[in-house]
Amino acid sequence: DAGVIQSPRHEVTEMGQEVTLRCKPISGHDYLFWYRQTMMRGLELLIYFNNNVPIDDSGMPEDRFSAKMPNASFSTLKIQPSEPRDSAVYFCASKPQGADTQYFGPGTRLTVL
Amino acid sequence: KQEVTQIPAALSVPEGENLVLNCSFTDSAIYNLQWFRQDPGKGLTSLLLIQSSQREQTSGRLNASLDKSSGRSTLYIAASQPGDSATYLCAGDSWGKLQFGAGTQVVVTP
């Protein structure tokens, strides 16, 4: 069975451009999480969804960040406009209802020049 | 807010030695404590999960303990191998949200 799928794996963009990161959770998983990992701040939770509904977005750094989950098999994290300090690895994870273990995707490495 | 600290930040051992990785957390009201492995350029892989009511969990050469009263968890890796080289992260689960430590980077030399 395929794991969590993220695209693109690498993204290089210029400051001010819009960036869209994509995630396909494991089929049947009801929860989806977006994380960001940097050297300075480590791994931080940005937002998570349950049954496609955003439950907690308190980790979203500012209004430039937005996330959507239009259906159970797809989610996006958008940054508009992007800034150099957004450079990081962004991970998506999913888990089934009632389970504690999260399954992580391979991440998207974002570089904003 | 939960704060999770991992010591040491980096560790290098010769093959065959036992590894001891430490994790401390500030909020004892955690639901569970999880240990993950991260290889360079890859996502996180779950290793062990200890429920708040448990004291330890074992999987093969890995053993993790949990002491909620002191806010500590320890991951033991017996008879280390070069393939154990990776970054190990612990995370406290509070209300369904994971708070991660900065990780311990482990290098096992042949």
Whether residue A102 lies within 8 A of chain B, CB to CB, comes out as yes
Q: B46-83: per-residue pLDDT in tens?
A: 999 999 999 999 999 999 999 999 999 999 999 999 99
Q: Which amino acid is at A71?
A: N
Residue B57 burial (CB < 10 Å; 0-12/13-18/19+)?
A: buried
* Contact of A26 with A92, CB cutoff 8 Å: no
Over 80: is that where the pLDDT of B1 sits?
A: no
User: Average pLDDT of A89-94?
Assistant: 97
Mean pLDDT taken over chain A: 96
The two structure tokens encoding residue A71: 């259906």
Q: A25-59: per-residue pLDDT in tens?
A: 999 999 999 999 999 999 999 999 999 999 999 99
Question: 22-81 in B: which are within 8 Å (CB) of A?
Answer: 31-32, 34, 36, 41-46, 49, 51
Whether residue A32 lies within 8 A of chain B, CB to CB, comes out as no
pLDDT (0 to 100) of residue B29: 84
Would you place residue A2 in the very low, low, confident or very high pLDDT band (cuts 50, 70, 90)? Answer: confident
Element at B35 (helix H, strand E): strand B32-38
Shortest alpha-carbon distance between residue A42 and chain B (Å): 5
The answer to whether the bond into A25 is cis (omega within 30° of 0) is no
**Cβ A101–B102 below 8 Å, yes or no?**
no
pLDDT (0 to 100) of residue A1: 65
User: Average pLDDT of A51-73?
Assistant: 95
**Cβ A43–B42 below 8 Å, yes or no?**
no
